[in-house]
A and B are shown apart, each in its own frame.
Chain A
């Protein structure tokens, strides 16, 4: 007996994915999250699993966890009281940021208040040049004065971010050592240690966020570990990372910045894995919950990575799975503006009070209410009994809007859905252009509580190949953590010309990165299997102000083969942007290395083949595009591989409802995915 468990703690629900290694079966569970008492949801879930499936905690061999505690700390601004030490005369780095104001047409617009106020920023007399040469060495007396001032101001930790520390971290190291002697109780977060990239604001804010979330995250992890040990789990605990991998809990406690987007990243990893295993090579993942709608581009199971992902008001610059927010999900509020135009959002009913139809105090019409008023969902109880859908309440919430617009409740409800979908269309359309992909080659992979409800409408507008709804859309994030590999990124800013001479200087940083990566995987994570190493460089044409990520072969660097490196860059530039300049000089800004160790993956079990046509549990009058249409409602548990359902149709299941508009057809594939495509004319 051996189990592997992935747990994803979200704002409203906590999802468990349990993989039974003895029979290859995947079990899922959903319980309420307990923000009031973190850890309680884990106890509740394990208790339920014991009772339901006879799970023995001692038999759990693997446990991963994703959480939004880091990102929430930034959004709610309840993190650590920090001081920031900068190079003297450059103390305003957080206030100036990159200068641009958020709303360029608004004369009142101001940048968000920094996480560290200016009176807790202290200049240190020190200087490193762009070449890495140390011009001024920090003095203990100067540092001591700054530490005293920081203590006096009540600071509980210190972030160090000195100019050009990406090139030579010596001064940051020296000051960290001094602080260690002067004030050993203060944790120090060095920018070069956190993520040593060029661009002072980007490096500083990344280190600041890391320090800002650290105590809350590590306290959370402590509690989490305690609870699991009390429950009798003996296996190592792993935490999912923003880069789509996992790391040991001890690293997570110290290197919090790595796990800040762990929740969203694991959803994308889970979607990528399921889609790939089911034979879908190109997908857009669509994760819609009560308060968010997120999309990611996944090709051959690999998500796109980006830097500069948004955390609340700030960007973080470590490699993260690139996820774009495309809306606010089912909670967006519909209203009629003073000029009589129907609008949706930006206000949201969130998870509390939530949509009117959930009967938890919400009274204003939301997108979820519109879907309910069109009678598209809410015909069968949701398995976990979290919410009951009140059709009358949904209609009552929309009635005032219908009156103002001189129209029927159902028609306005349809319009609300259309506006919401057109808003997502606009965002996804931008994303498609940003990545330069063609949506007609892509499936929309829907998950989250509301993804399958709206996916077909969105795919229809985007003219996509189809929609895929996996068997358990509610636990894709938990599953993502379960199947994620051990993975870590390493970086050195090398800033050299891509020539034989320039690359000579890269050999030693490359060797150092390799050794560091091996040490991480073998010694710190205790991994014994085969390691995968990916070498990447951030490169650009000389004079360009941005870099692109180029995969390299380690052998090129060992051999100092400038031509091969440059060719790889030209080719990647042409692939991304449609043009390249093969004769122009090329620069390498950062050398990066990603090491990963594969973890075992659950096999997806085939669904039993259909022996007879599917029978609906009931028929309802559902409203599609302003017309009432007799629509069969199926239950997912009744469906078998090979079933084909013509739209309009509704498929209910424990954790979501799939809506299939007229003109579409559903195939149930051998793994139990619902594959929805346009019906051939």
Chain B
């Protein structure tokens, strides 16, 4: 049946159904909570060349809709019916992006002709390596991050390669879970293959291939129509993760967005060099790598909710990813925590688009959703380890509504763990779980409130980790007069004499009766808070989202006896205020950028690009130290300051 715009939707629905069937099968048969609760998996149908054209509509990680499996597919010269290939190695094709993500792909044939592939991944709880769960900021080489399976045929013409399974089982901490999940993945691609065979038979091989091309073309045309409405120009935006390593320096992700007609270029030049921690993103420099396109996907979908998400969606975009940087690291850089960096790429993408479309983009969602884990022991000594859920900030204020509370924007896809489940499983007692007042940055539309979690530990040698924590140093930004957010907090024993601010730490040891409090980073506000209707501020006060004091101070709304004092409010709101710029940054960022200006960063970027990759992270730190030593009232132009530092470095290290 020839496919045209009258029946393209029929083919698209069938293909989406195949992807849904794969996802449901995976969720039904998988073993691990990562699949069942967190939904950290993907399933796709991709073209013979590797371009994703169908994904599950409601499930799975939201990053991979436009993935391109070409580098993996090209690893083998020939495929036979019944083959299934596997890899988790980030440095073999850059499709797997950290070692826990195990990807598999299976060819689908119709009467001997290759028609497409069915593919997918699961985030395994553990793949061995230096630390349980295989992920830690502190790791420095890919070899520490667990087992790496190079691309290999896991199943050859229907025959399972037992060696792959036994090698995996021998190298991981929870082999039953990994093997169980792998079987679920195999079941998932098998059901996908069966569905696709039915679909190809229904439409005919030639028309199927042609129709799939049209599905990709359709998504591309939708993207072009969206981009054509974005004003042409070059928009630069940068933001900083707290640290580039444990106890390190700020970690910068920079983006120059170039909009030209209905196309867009995302140039990440100016982002940090490859780091000696696991924050690096293995993209291989591929111009449509999913990790650097997530933010764009969110922006496009927000602008048009009817957008079909597939590889065609990304065709009008290309990324520039300089080698040896955090956005394109080289082996043996560790990559386990690339999700933290990926969150920053999403934030800078929204920031860059906000300059082009300030009326349509939201303020920053903070990123840095801490995944809380507790390792402790029960009264009988039995060791207990469990995830007790994410604690993060809300969604940034949007041009049409307040940000989502507790989680939102780019990190809204995670589910929490019920308190009652955690208390039944882990010998800790919760003191609080909810939303923290005054954490949503003020705005015409305020940021969503941050989550707060507080619990008491009952056993000695308890280790609490807050993986992926961020925004404890530089808060997220506000837009169009909306305020910047507040920083995240991690405190031991709040309100007691031994209260300890844990700063940017993500691991803390605790003893019985210690109390841990985590508050997610605040989301930015959108628009001038003085323009927020007083009734909305009153409602926030009544609902405990905003305190009386902040209502008065930030929103200029005086509330007396649970009602708005109209005259006092008018007087407050009449006071002159500094005119706001498009972005509002936190004081910490403003102070940092007084020293580390864009010019200084540009010079640093050029200098580091010239030295060997292995030296860059080391030199970045030495240069930061040198800059910190510059006299405060140094009047020398920045280029001369930096030139002197660079010369000194070259001499000292013989570069």
Chain A residues with CB under 8 Å of chain B are 89-93, 95-96, 98-101, 103-111, 117-119, 129-130, 163-164, 166, 198-202, 337-344, 405, 407, 411-412, 415, 418-419, 422-423, 425-427, 429-430, 432-434, 436, 461, 463, 495, 543-546, 576-579, 581, 584
Contact = CB atoms under 8 A, between A and B. Distances in A.
A426 B423 contact: no
A105 B297 contact: yes
Given A419-B10, A545-B421, A105 B298 contact: yes
B413 A101 contact: yes
Contacts of B6: 342, 405, 407, 411-412, 415
Given A110-B401, A544-B33, A90 B542 contact: no
A578 B406 contact: no
Nearest to A578: B29
B401 A108 contact: yes
B600 to A, nearest CB: 31
B385 to A, nearest CB: 9
B9 A433 contact: no
A537 to B, nearest CB: 16
Nearest to B412: A101
Contacts of A130: 420, 423-424
B413 A419 contact: no
Interface of B: 5-10, 13-14, 16-18, 20-22, 24-25, 28-29, 31, 33, 36-37, 62, 176, 180, 183, 187, 191, 195, 198, 202, 218, 221-222, 225, 297-299, 301-302, 305-306, 309, 350, 361-362, 365, 389-390, 395-396, 398, 400-410, 412-421, 423-424, 429-435, 448, 451, 454, 539, 542-545
A343 B402 contact: no
B582 to A, nearest CB: 17
A90 B419 contact: yes
Contact of A96 (B20, B309, B416, B544): B416
A495 B418 CA distance: 15
A93 B13 CA distance: 37
Contacts of A579: 29, 31, 180, 183
A430 B20 contact: yes
B421 A104 contact: no
A621 B365 CA distance: 59
Contacts of A110: 395, 401-405, 408, 448
B13 A107 contact: no
A341 B219 CA distance: 11
A200 B419 contact: yes
A89 B301 CA distance: 36
B36 A546 contact: yes
A163 B419 contact: yes
B418 A198 contact: yes
B33 A426 contact: no
A339 B420 contact: no
A660 B24 CA distance: 32
B28 A436 contact: yes
Given A341-B9, A545-B421, A546-B37, A429 B17 contact: yes
Nearest to B188: A433
Contact of A90 (B18, B62, B415, B432): B432
A367 to B, nearest CB: 13
A108 B361 CA distance: 9
B542 A163 contact: no
Contacts of A199: 418, 420-421
Given A96-B451, A105-B62, A110-B401, 13 more contacts: A93-B434, A96-B434, A99-B415, A100-B413, A105-B309, A107-B409, A109-B404, A341-B9, A425-B17, A432-B21, A433-B20, A433-B25, A434-B28
Contacts of B37: 545-546
A111 B404 contact: yes
Nearest to B8: A341
B160 to A, nearest CB: 15
17 contacts: A99-B414, A100-B414, A103-B305, A107-B350, A107-B365, A109-B404, A110-B402, A199-B420, A200-B420, A339-B218, A341-B218, A405-B5, A415-B10, A423-B13, A544-B33, A545-B417, A581-B180
B479 to A, nearest CB: 12
B420 A426 contact: no
Contacts of A412: 6
B122 to A, nearest CB: 15
Contacts of B403: 110
Nearest to A135: B429
A405 B505 CA distance: 60
B21 A418 contact: no
A635 to B, nearest CB: 33
A337 B202 CA distance: 25
A118 B543 contact: yes
A107 B187 contact: no
Contacts of A99: 389-390, 406-407, 412, 414-416, 451
Contacts of B362: 107-108
A422 B434 contact: no
A99 B195 CA distance: 33
A341 B404 contact: no
B9 A342 contact: yes
A107 B413 contact: no
B407 A433 contact: no
B432 A89 contact: yes
A198 B406 CA distance: 22
A411 B6 CA distance: 9
A103 B306 CA distance: 12
Contacts of B421: 198-199, 545
A237 to B, nearest CB: 38
A108 B397 CA distance: 8
Among A341, A422, A432, chain B packs the most CB atoms within 10 A around the CB of: A341
6 smallest CB-CB distances across A and B, nearest first, come from A101-B412, A92-B434, A433-B24, A426-B17, A422-B13, A118-B543
A166 B365 contact: no
Nearest to B12: A422
A423 B404 CA distance: 30
Among A99, A344, A412, chain B packs the most CB atoms within 10 A around the CB of: A99
B401 A118 contact: no
Nearest to A95: B405
A462 to B, nearest CB: 10
Contact of B302 (A106, A198, A429): A106
Given A99-B416, A108-B302, A419 B434 contact: no
A337 to B, nearest CB: 7
B428 to A, nearest CB: 10
B344 to A, nearest CB: 16
A429 B180 CA distance: 24
Contact of B433 (A90, A166, A338): A90
Given A108-B302, A495-B424, A577-B28, A418 B17 contact: no
Contacts of A89: 431-434, 454
A198 B424 CA distance: 9
Contacts of B420: 130, 163-164, 166, 198-200
Given A89-B432, A90-B432, A412-B6, A109 B412 contact: yes
A127 to B, nearest CB: 9
A108 B20 contact: no
Contacts of B29: 577-579
Contact of A200 (B36, B187, B418): B418
Nearest to A336: B5
A581 B20 contact: no
A452 to B, nearest CB: 22
B67 to A, nearest CB: 15
A543 B174 CA distance: 12
B358 to A, nearest CB: 14
Nearest to B424: A130
Among A405, A411, A432, chain B packs the most CB atoms within 10 A around the CB of: A432
A202 B451 CA distance: 19
Nearest to A463: B198
Nearest to B300: A105
Contacts of A407: 6
B13 A106 contact: no
A461 to B, nearest CB: 8
